[in-house]
A = this chain, B = another copy of it.
């Protein structure tokens, strides 16, 4: 039986903000024939500090919006929403839904030889223990660490910066201690936040060479490309369509850094007044 959306032309990408643009950037390279809709729920970001109920409510309304725009496949490019709301989204929409937590855990399973994995993420993602659960399902042992300063450092633009190196050294020294206490021999670090790919080189430099860094943007794009067959058709697909729930100007300005190319048009939408109740 062929599900109509196993050959999607329109892929909806959802994040609470701009970080998911690192996933979109990788998909634009790996799925050149697809058409993309990107929704950043910027009025309600960050999801990272919110409860499961609130995140699920916000994520479901965002997913429903993308479906109403014609999305035939959804990529949840937001770790918090993938961690806290994937089941709720899958229950709410009739198209395939892929989340960055599972794609990251899949890649860890493929690459780790020791079976011992470290995960860094925001506080809310860690508190959900979604990566721990996803790793356990794949017979991996995992430890997690919340790194709440990394997102603001990226947003401050302090990428190749002494403070960022110091913060990474502190975080990784604590994480490697945690691994020793747990008697693990980690060979893999999973970047459990879509902001972190921008710090990939600094993260690699702060870690022993024996540890491989898995970038959720790259591996998510690879798994979307492997699981769908976008029908070819000669014509170049239209450029991605961007939607945001707050300040299109800010989305264009900050988002371009995450996407690695200029964003020209962003459509402002209101998800709240369309929510029933």
- Residues of A whose CB lies within 8 Å of any CB of B are 42-46, 49-51, 54, 148-149, 151-153, 155-156, 162-163, 166-167, 170, 246-247, 250, 272-273, 275, 277
Contacts and interface: CB of A to CB of B under 8 A. Distances in A.
A84 to B, nearest CB: 12
Contact of A275 (B148, B166, B250, B272): B272
22 contacts: A42-B49, A43-B54, A45-B49, A49-B246, A49-B250, A50-B247, A51-B246, A51-B250, A54-B246, A148-B155, A148-B156, A149-B152, A149-B156, A149-B163, A162-B166, A163-B166, A163-B167, A163-B170, A272-B272, A272-B275, A272-B277, A273-B277
Contacts of A45: 49
Contacts of A275: 272
Given A272-B277, A273-B277, 10 more contacts: A42-B50, A44-B44, A45-B49, A46-B46, A49-B246, A51-B246, A51-B250, A149-B153, A152-B152, A272-B272
A262 to B, nearest CB: 21
A50 B246 contact: yes
Contacts of A153: 149
Contacts of A148: 152, 155-156
A167 B152 CA distance: 12
A148 B153 CA distance: 9
A43 B55 CA distance: 9
A152 B148 CA distance: 7
A1 to B, nearest CB: 40
A51 B247 contact: yes
Contacts of A46: 46
A54 B45 CA distance: 12
A245 to B, nearest CB: 8
Nearest to A248: B51
A25 to B, nearest CB: 22
Contacts of A277: 272-273
A273 B51 CA distance: 17
A135 to B, nearest CB: 25
Contacts of A44: 44
Nearest to A150: B152
Q: A-B pairs with the 5 shortest C-beta distances?
A: A273-B277, A51-B247, A152-B152, A43-B54, A51-B246
